[in-house]
Structure 1
Amino acid sequence: MVGARQFDEQEVIAIALDVFWRKGLHDATMQDLAAATGVQRGSLYNAYGDKEAIFLRAFDRYAEQFLEMVDRALTQGDDAAARLDKFFDVIIVNMTSGSPPRGCLTTRTALDAAISSTDVRQRVRGVLGRLEQCIDKAIDAIPATKAAIDSKRLARVVVTFTRGLAVMERAGYSRKQLKDSAETFVQALVGKA
C-alpha cells in the first residue's frame, strides 16, 4: 500500500531514544537515526518531519517511563528519608546504566537547551516540573513531614540535587560514589529514621 509505514513505529522511537541518549540531540544526525533504525532517512523525514520531531517523540516516551518509575519509587517507605532513598536509587541506576553509562537524558538535553528550540526547552522544563510534583506529593503524603517540611520547596531542592548528580556521573563518579552522596544528602535534608 502506497504511503503505509513499513516499520514498527514503537521500535523506531525506542531505537531513536537510545541514539539521542548516547549522542545528544545536537550530535545525533538523521544518518545516525537511519543507520540505527534500519529506516531510510527519507522515510524518517516523511513519517516525522525532522530530527527534532523524532527527538520530541522519543523524549516524551522517555519522560513517561521515567516518571512512572519515579512515582513507584516514591511510594516505597513510611517516611521521607526512605522514599527519597528509593527515589535516588532509581535516578542513579537510570543514569549509570549502559556501557558506557548513558547519563541523564534530561540533564544532557537541558544543557543543550540553550541552542534548542522552544519545544525542546518546554519538554525539559515539563519533565523537571513533573518530577518536582511527584516528590512533593510523596513527601506531603507523610503526616510527620507535613508540618516539618515545605514539600514544594524540598522537592525543588531534591530535583536540583539530581542535576548535580548527573554532572558528577558525567565527570566519572561511580554508582557507589553517587549513592553515597545521595545518602548524605537525604540524611542532611530530612534525617534518617
Structure 2
Amino acid sequence: MRRIATSIVTFVSWHRRAIGALLAAASVLLLAEALRTPVETVDALVATVALPAGHTITPADVEVRALPPGALPDDSLASPDDAIGRTLAAAVSGSTVLQPGSLANDHRAADGRAIVPIAVSDDGLRALLSPGDRVSLVTQGPDSMVVLCSDAIIVALPSGPDPAGRLADATQRPSTMILVEVPQEDAANVATFGQGVGVSVILGTV
C-alpha cells in the first residue's frame, strides 16, 4: 500500500502541470454546460417608473420582464394589454410587478376625462360613496365655497394602506384616498386641492 501511495505522489509531482491543465479544462466545460442550461422564467408586467394612485397607465409606464416563477405573486399580470388604459388604485414604485389588485376595477377614463385621487378622511362620508356615484367637488375659497367640479364620478375606494406617500405613516392606516373621474379641464385643480388644501364631496351635482 505504501509503495502504491509513493508511486501516486511521484506521478502527481512529475505531471502536476498537466493535471492542473486538465482540471482547469474540466471546470471550464462544466461552467459552459451550466450556462447553456436554461433558467425557467415567466413573463411578468412591471412598472418602469414610480406611478401615483389614479394614474392612467400608458405603454411607456410598463414593460414585460422574464422573471423566476418563485419571485412572482400567483396572479401577476403578463401582458401590457392587461393594464394599458387602466387606472392604478394605489401608488407603485419602479419595477413593481403589477397585479389585478393594483388596478381600479375595470374602469377606463372616458374620452376627455381623467382619473384623479383625492383624500376623503371622513369615514362616514366614505361609507356613503360607491363606484359610479356622481358627485360634486368643492373647496373653501377666500370668501365662500368654490366648485372645482360639478361632474365627478367615483371610480374606486381603495381599502389598502394609504397609497399617498405624503399621508402614509408607520401605522399603515387605511387609505383615505378615493379615485374620481373628472373632465380633463378640471383635473389639475381637483388634484391640487384634493391632495393638498382639501376637497369636500357633495352627493349629486350642483
Structure in which a larger fraction of residues adopt strand = 2
Structure in which a larger fraction of residues adopt helix = 1
Q: What band does the TM-score fall into relative to the shorter chain?
A: under 0.3
- Tell me the TM-score normalized by structure 1: 0.27
Q: Which has the higher contact order (CA 8 A, sep 6+)?
A: 1
- Tell me the TM-score normalized by structure 2: 0.26
Larger Rg: 2
